[in-house]
Amino acid sequence: MQNEMKLIRNNLDLQLSQAVREIGSLRESQTLTRQYRHDMRHHLQYVSTCIENGEVEQAQAYISGICKEIEAQKVQIYCENEAVNQRRSEHMCDRAALRRGFKKNICTCICGI
């Protein structure tokens, strides 16, 4: 009986720790979504300003640059561990952005965020 209770408790502890990790992951996802929306507003405002000022080529070049940045930030699969893949991809993205001279986040330039 005591062993069975320990097994049940261990199972519940595992379920609880998994639920805590999932909640943390959800919070991180929500934070990233807010950041992406914020960034997108600034990107669209910049493109809109370029178009309003008749700077269509500049707007297209900006859009092209953003598309390249998005492609460069794509998560590559290095192994089965998702956390390792994400960290490795972030590291590679940071290195690539530095080589190209791009800012990682346009809001760093515009907002100082």
Stretch 21-31: mean pLDDT: 90
**Does 47 score more than 70 pLDDT?**
yes
Residues 107, 104: Cα–Cα separation, whole Å: 9
DSSP state of 75: P
Mean confidence (pLDDT) of the chain? 80
Stretch 2-31: mean pLDDT: 91
The H-or-E segment that residue 82 falls in is helix 82-100
Q: What integer pLDDT is reported at residue 82 of this predicted model? A: 74
Residues 66, 35: Cα–Cα separation, whole Å: 15
Residues 64, 37: Cα–Cα separation, whole Å: 19
pLDDT tens track for 77-111:
777 777 776 777 666 655 555 555 544 444 444 44
Q: What integer pLDDT is reported at residue 5 of this predicted model? A: 92
Which position has the token pair 């929500």? 30
Q: By C-alpha distance, which of 84, 90, 52 is closest to 72?
A: 90
Q: What integer pLDDT is reported at residue 57 of this predicted model? A: 96
